[in-house]
């Protein structure tokens, strides 16, 4: 079974939106209008068909989530006034739906609408579908919506937040006309799309939802999201006042942004890694030996590679970046740079004369630069990594990755760790596990991570991280930060490790 292309598309979108490379027309933003620069258009206005990452801002504005993820890393009430797992094992989740919210068309948001929406998402072949892993039934009893699972999913507050779309409740009118979800909004959010002032792929205009239950959060009369693919053009638009918030911000432009008087948010880190996907040695027999994979990890000078990648990158030897769940500083030295040790391990595994393998990558987000740097260092211990680059052609990349011709790929691991495992590591639902690798120790660690109580979750995440690192399924290279630049905006908040931004707290900055 090949991984779903749309799931990989969504993951790529989440990884690359901050690094995508003509400013939109228009004069400086008025105080009653918020103008946001986005590096690429959303995949769809339909929450079921859109990816994650900052492209989700079109839904953050127009669909109220069940649970709100905040920039300080916490979760707070939205359409659900409270929520909890019931019993042990993270297989029953309950949410109480607030009684005073309405959709933009005036119809009430009730438990029946929540159940209908979640059932729609479960049936849809959406790009973020792996996040719904385990959910088997959604029902309502009075104000309470119950979500039952056949396998544990400990991150449902995150899944039902604005960050993954599945918390975005759709009105009955929208569900009755699913073909219209791609071009109009049917949510209960603070704003609603104005189709007459929107050109798909170029700019999206939102106006106030007159039925929003928290009018105090409608701090602007209008919000316009402009697609500005080039980071330098987006920076110029911010500096000239055409844009208030730049979501196409990069580390290389951070100092320029500060120099222009902009506030700079840094966060949402991920780990760029060489995925050693042929872990059973089906295409490249050498990679089926753990000693070989460990040797490759010892062969690479991560600090040198991070320097080659430039600003915003730092060396890392594990799959969880600092500040994210499961990160363990001790793991960064698990496979320290030691070419002599690498050669010894290769000799012990019967590959003292070296071996070769092929890897596939993209030009996006420093992936090919990392591949080139790692390939050069592996050559020093006798290992030849032949790089096949698909440019920015995602469809070709997906086809190549799933062909099993390539034994490795350079890509990015995201947070939280359980979500990263679903997308990058475990089982048939993982789009970046084309060989469907399994390992009993990793399976046990993943099960423990899935069933852990909240008080035990961090310890379980560290153990999962350690197990994957020890098995050398990846060659972690560098952690990378993402950025947001803003001018004239109060209430910016922070940039959470999971990507949350306090969009509805942004307000015009009052100057004396």
Contact by Cβ (8 Å): 468, 319: yes
Q: From the CB of residue 141, how many other CB atoms can be counted at a distance below 10 Å?
A: 9
Exposure b/e, 327-358, CB count within 10 A at least 16 = b: bbeebbebbebebebbbbbbeebebeeebebb
CA distance 427 to 438: 7
Distance separating alpha carbons of residues 224 and 36, to the nearest angstrom: 6
Please list the pLDDT of the chain residue by residue as tens digits (512 residues). 344 444 454 454 444 433 333 333 333 445 799 999 999 888 889 999 887 778 899 999 999 999 999 999 999 999 999 999 999 999 999 999 999 999 999 999 999 999 999 999 999 977 778 889 899 999 999 999 999 999 999 999 999 999 989 999 999 999 999 999 999 999 999 999 999 999 999 999 999 999 999 999 999 999 999 999 999 999 999 999 999 999 999 888 999 999 999 999 999 899 999 999 999 999 999 999 999 999 999 999 999 999 989 888 999 999 999 999 999 999 999 999 999 999 999 999 999 999 999 999 988 778 999 999 999 999 999 999 999 999 878 778 888 998 999 999 999 888 889 988 988 888 666 778 999 999 999 999 999 999 999 999 999 999 999 999 999 999 999 998 899 999 999 999 999 999 999 999 999 998 75
Supply the DSSP symbol for 97. Answer: E
Q: Delineate the domains of the chain, giving CATH numbers in brackets.
A: 5-267+483-508 (3.40.190.10), 269-481 (3.10.105.10)
Residue 480 vs residues 9, 35, 243, 302, 360: alpha-carbon distances, Å: 20, 26, 25, 13, 20
pTM (2 decimals)?
Answer: 0.88
- 204 within 8 A of 193, measured Cβ to Cβ: yes
């Amino acid at each position: 079974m090949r991984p779903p292309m749309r799931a990989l598309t969504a993951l790529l979108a989440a990884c690359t939106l901050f690094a995508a490379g003509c400013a939109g027309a228009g004069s400086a933003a008025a105080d009653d209008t918020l103008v946001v620069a986005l590096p690429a258009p959303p995949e769809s206005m339909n929450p079921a068909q859109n990816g994650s990452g900052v492209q989700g801002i079109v839904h953050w504005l127009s669909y109220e989530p069940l649970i709100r993820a905040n920039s300080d890393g916490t979760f707070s009430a939205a359409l659900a006034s409270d929520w909890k797992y019931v019993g042990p094992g993270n297989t029953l989740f309950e949410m109480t739906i607030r009684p005073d919210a309405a959709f933009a068309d005036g119809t009430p948001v009730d438990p029946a609408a929540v159940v209908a929406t979640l059932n729609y998402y479960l049936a849809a072949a959406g790009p973020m579908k792996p996040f719904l892993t385990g959910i088997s039934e959604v029902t309502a009893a009075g104000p309470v919506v119950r979500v039952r699972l056949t396998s544990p999913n400990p991150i449902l507050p995150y899944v039902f937040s604005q960050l993954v779309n599945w918390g975005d409740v759709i009105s009955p009118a929208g569900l009755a006309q699913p073909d219209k979800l791609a071009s109009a909004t049917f949510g209960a959010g603070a704003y609603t799309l104005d189709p007459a002032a929107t050109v798909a792929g170029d700019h999206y205009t939102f106006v106030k939802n007159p039925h929003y239950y928290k009018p105090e959060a409608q701090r602007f009369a209008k919000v316009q999201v402009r697609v500005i693919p080039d980071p330098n053009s987006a920076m110029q638009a911010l500096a000239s006042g055409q844009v208030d918030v730049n979501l196409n911000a990069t580390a290389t432009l951070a100092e320029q942004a500060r120099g222009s008087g902009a506030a700079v948010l840094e966060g949402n880190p991920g780990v760029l890694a060489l995925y050693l996907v042929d872990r059973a040695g089906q295409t490249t027999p050498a990679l089926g030996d753990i000693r070989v994979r460990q040797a490759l990890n010892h062969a690479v000078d991560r600090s040198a590679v991070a320097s080659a990648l430039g600003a915003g990158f730092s060396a890392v030897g594990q799959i969880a970046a600092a500040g994210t769940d499961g990160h363990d500083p001790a793991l960064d030295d698990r496979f320290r740079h030691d070419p002599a040790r690498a050669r010894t391990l290769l000799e012990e595994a019967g590959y003292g004369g070296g071996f070769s393998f092929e890897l596939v990558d993209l030009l996006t987000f420093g992936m090919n630069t990392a591949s080139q740097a790692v390939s050069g260092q592996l050559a020093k211990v006798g290992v030849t990594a032949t790089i096949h680059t698909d440019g920015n052609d995602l469809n070709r990349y997906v086809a190549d990755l799933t062909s099993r011709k390539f034994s490795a790929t350079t890509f990015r691991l995201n947070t939280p760790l359980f979500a990263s495992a679903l997308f990058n590591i475990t089982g048939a639902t993982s789009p970046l596990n084309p060989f469907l690798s399994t390992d009993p120790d990793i399976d046990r660690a993943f099960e423990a991570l899935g069933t852990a109580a909240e008080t035990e979750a961090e310890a379980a995440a560290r153990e999962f991280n350690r197990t994957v690192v020890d098995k050398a399924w990846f060659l972690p290279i560098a952690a990378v930060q993402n950025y947001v630049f803003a001018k004239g905006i109060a209430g910016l908040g922070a940039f959470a490790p999971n990507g949350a931004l306090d969009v509805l707290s942004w307000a015009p900055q009052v100057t004396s």
